[in-house]
């Protein structure tokens, strides 16, 4: 009798092991979204998993969760499952709340408008430009605009935390530093060029000379500009750095850390002028005469 019982337990153990750890279809490749609604219990979830063809039998799922003592830990949300996943893998995801996420990369220099277009979502809030840190993020599939803003601004605060003392000691406001960084982000490409241009622009500000940053015109018009026209320089906008002295009204994009560092640590030089060629090279000049010669040469 004892041998029969042992044999039964072995067979039952193999039966459970196969149910827990062998997937319904190990060859399946396509994932499927599965919703666990708030208030659903263990048995309802198991029934729906079986109905959706994700597990062989609801019994395995319910029994696995019960022996783990996790029936009260199942979390609502939208999950991505695949029939090639075992019952144990599926259960662990629901127990841990490992919901389906979208991974999105926000490039350095994206404007708020571009971020909204990429996410296909409206971002609520004022004065967001410049303070949504460009990075790679994970968001729930049904994320709300305010949650995206919160996460990106929290990341901004985290990335800027090591520089708070330097910003305070510089005599500049954080807003001014980020505004300058946004100009650098759009104007030039390399770290070295950003530092040099930063030195030029801060020097121009201190000397009461217009910044004349082409990227601010592009921000106003929404168009890519290779050469600024006389008409462009006369656009009446607080972002027009040809028409008005000082920094523009605010940031013109969301700059990356390299541009922020360049705004904070400018490189001093004898240069007062610069231009970017269509190929992306930055040409620096000490005098307006030299600058005009290079403009005629490179910006035809």
Q: Tell me if 123 sits within 8 A of 96, measured CB to CB.
A: no
Question: What CA–CA distance (Å, rounded) separates 215 from 272?
Answer: 17
DSSP 161: G
**What confidence tens digit (pLDDT) does each residue in 193-213 have?**
999 999 999 999 999 999 999
Contact 96, 43 (CB under 8 A): no
Strand partners, 33: 80
For the entire predicted model, the pTM comes to 0.83
Q: Is 189 helix (H, G, I), strand (E, B) or coil?
A: coil
Nearest to 76 by CA among 50, 99, 105, 43: 99
Q: pLDDT tens across 221-256, in order? A: 988 877 788 899 999 999 999 999 999 999 999 999
State the DSSP code for 202.
H
Sequence length of the chain is 300
Distance CA 228, CA 244 (A): 15
Work out the number of other CB atoms within 10 angstroms of the CB of residue 74: 18
pLDDT at 63 over 90: yes
Asked if 238 contacts 249 with a C-beta cutoff of 8 angstroms, the reply is yes
The Cα–Cα gap between 209 and 239 comes to 15
Q: What is the predicted pLDDT for the residue at 223?
A: 83
pLDDT digits (tens, 9 = 90+) for 9-29: 666 667 676 778 889 898 888
Q: What is the pLDDT of residues 121-175, one digit of tens each?
A: 999 988 999 999 999 999 998 899 999 999 999 999 999 999 999 999 988 999 9
What is d(CA 250, CA 145) in angstroms, rounded to the nearest whole number? Answer: 22
Sorted by where each begins, the domain ranges of the chain are 17-96, 101-160, 172-298
* Fold that domain 17-96 belongs to in CATH: Dna Ligase; domain 1 (3.30.1490)
Phi and psi torsions of 268, nearest 5° = -70, 145
């Amino acid at each position: 009798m004892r041998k029969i019982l042992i044999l039964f337990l072995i067979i039952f153990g193999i039966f459970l092991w196969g149910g827990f750890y062998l997937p319904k279809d190990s060859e399946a490749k396509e994932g499927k979204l599965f919703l666990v609604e708030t208030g659903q219990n263990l048995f309802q979830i198991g029934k729906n998993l079986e109905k959706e063809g994700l597990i062989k039998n609801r019994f395995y799922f319910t029994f696995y969760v019960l022996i783990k003592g996790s029936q009260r830990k199942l979390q609502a949300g939208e999950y991505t499952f695949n029939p090639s996943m075992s019952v144990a893998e599926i259960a662990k995801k629901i127990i841990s709340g490992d919901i389906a996420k979208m991974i999105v990369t926000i490039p350095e220099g994206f404007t708020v408008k571009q971020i909204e277009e990429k996410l296909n979502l409206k971002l609520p809030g004022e004065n967001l430009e410049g303070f949504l840190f460009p990075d790679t993020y994970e968001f729930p599939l049904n994320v709300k605009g305010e949650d995206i803003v919160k996460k990106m601004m929290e990341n901004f605060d985290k990335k800027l935390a090591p520089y708070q003392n330097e910003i305070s000691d510089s005599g500049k406001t954080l807003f001014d530093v980020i505004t300058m960084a946004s100009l650098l982000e759009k104007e030039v490409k390399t770290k070295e060029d950003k530092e040099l241009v930063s030195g030029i622009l801060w020097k121009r500000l201190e000397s009461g000379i217009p910044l004349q940053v082409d990227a601010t015109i592009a921000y106003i018009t929404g168009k890519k500009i290779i050469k600024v026209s006389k008409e462009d320089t006369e656009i009446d906008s607080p972002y027009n750095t040809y028409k008005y002295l000082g920094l523009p009204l605010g940031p013109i994009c969301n700059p990356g850390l390299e541009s922020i560092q360049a705004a904070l640590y400018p490189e001093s030089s004898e240069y007062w002028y610069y231009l970017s060629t269509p190929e992306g090279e930055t040409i620096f000049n000490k005098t307006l005469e030299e600058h005009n010669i290079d403009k005629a040469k490179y910006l035809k």
